Structures are given as C-alpha cells and as structure tokens.
Amino acid sequence: MDSRLVVALDLTDADKLMEIAGNIGGEVFAIKINWPSIMIQGTGIVGELSRFGKVICDLKIADIPNTNSMIVESVVKMGAWGVISHSFTGGDSLRAAVESARNAKVFSVVSMSHPGSSDFINRHTDELIEVSRNAGAYGLIGPGNNPKELARIRKLAGNMVIMTPGVGAQGGKASEAIRSGSDLVIVGRAVYNSHDPLEAVRALNLEILESVQR
C-alpha cells in the first residue's frame, strides 16, 4: 500500500532539509514545505525537492484572485504537486488558485488546529467546505487532533481528499486521524527532530497501515 504520510519539513536550514528529503522521499506520500523555507532562496527550493518525490507547498494563500494565481503558477512551474490555500477569502480567490494549478492539486483550509482558530475560522467550517467544493478544490485541510470534528468534516467533504496536520508533536495520533476520516496525515517535528527520520517514517507508515486494515 502506498504511504499516506505527508512529512512537513519546516526547516530553514536548506542543507538539512534536502538531506532529510533525500533520505525519506521514497517512502512518504509527499514532502510539505512552508513559506520560511521558500524565503531562504525563492522557489528554486521547490524544484530541488521535487527530485525526491511529490512536493506540497503549504502557502496558506489568502489574497485577491490575481495574486493567488501568480503565487500558484510560480510553485507549480517549479514542480509542486500540490498547494494549500485558504478559502475564507472567497470563491473567486480559491477558484483562481485551482485554475492556475492546472494538474496540480489545491487543498483548501476549512479548519485549523491552534488555539486561536476557535476565535473565528473554526466557527465557519461548514461555509468554508461549501466554498471549497464550489471552487473545485481537490482536498481539504482538517484538524488531525480533533477526531470528532474531523469525522463531521468527513461527512460534509464528499469526495474531496482530507489532509490533516496536528499529529505527533501537536497531540493527535496518525492512526486516530485516519480512522476519523483523514486520507493523508501530516507529521513534522516527530520526523525531522528524530535521530533517524527514515525509521520514524517507517513506524508512522506501519501505524497508519495497521489502522486502515483494522
């Protein structure tokens, strides 16, 4: 079975990032990077990483349609497999991201995992799922550390793929996120801070596989 593990390499040490990516790239679903890594040297890092496997750019874009398009085109041209966009900026902004992505996949944020997400965004999850569906998003970002809410989102998501952060150092269990309806599980620190990232990846892949077969 293919891996359902997405490893977030939230590192600003480009050498370490590349080393771990080369080490684990063949055994994960994808590598996810965020803005701080791209800020080091621009989008060139996306192209370099794409040699090791799928790259998901977690940019949480939240701008007007034209700017969203420019951002997405830039990383897709460098080889990104997927991009993470917000949906609360409205259907036209998200649709611009989806259209500019062409064959690349756009995941839309409908829930977040940090405490402040309850101030605002997580109170509008259902509307955001609707905006995401109408804009043609490939997938949703849901809460990996909130199984009950994740299961609820799963029911509303239809055939959209669900990817979940909040697993590992943030408290959630990969197996529980999968059982609650997640298709792809994001793990960061528990892999890149491990003394043996590849071993950590293999243990997570096994945990996920067992939870699927149960």
Binding site for its own copies (CB under 8 A): 10, 12, 34-36, 38-43, 59-65, 67, 70-71, 74-75, 86-94, 112-121, 124, 127-128, 131
The DSSP secondary-structure symbol of 17 reads H
Active-site residue identified among 16, 32, 60, 155: 60
Interior/surface letters 87-109, b for 16+ CB within 10 angstroms, e for the rest: bbbebebbbbbbbbbeebbbbbb
Question: By the 8 A CB rule, do 55 and 20 touch?
Answer: no
Task: Return the HEC string of 168-202.
Answer: CCCCECHHHHHHCCCCEEEECHHHHCCCCHHHHHH
Q: Which is nearer to its own copies, 37 or 175 (CB)?
A: 37
Q: How far apart are CA 6 and CA 22, in angstroms?
A: 14
Q: Which is nearer to its own copies, 130 or 176 (CB)?
A: 130
Q: How far apart are CA 128 and CA 207, in angstroms?
A: 31
Q: Which is nearer to its own copies, 28 or 141 (CB)?
A: 141
Q: Which residues contact 87 (CB under 8 A, 6 or more apart)?
A: 94, 108, 109, 110, 128, 131, 132, 135, 137
User: Residue 170 Cβ, how far from its own copies at the closest point, in Å?
Assistant: 9
Q: Which is nearer to its own copies, 147 or 166 (CB)?
A: 166
- Angle of CA points 17, 9, 190, to nearest 5°: 115
User: Residue 58 Cβ, how far from its own copies at the closest point, in Å?
Assistant: 8
The DSSP secondary-structure symbol of 35 reads H
Q: Which is nearer to its own copies, 14 or 209 (CB)?
A: 14
User: Residue 189 Cβ, how far from its own copies at the closest point, in Å?
Assistant: 11
Q: How far apart are CA 185 and CA 166, in angstroms?
A: 9
Structure token pair of residue 20: 């771990």
User: Residue 38 Cβ, how far from its own copies at the closest point, in Å?
Assistant: 7
User: Residue 135 Cβ, how far from its own copies at the closest point, in Å?
Assistant: 9
Known active-site residue 60: yes
Residues labelled catalytic: 60
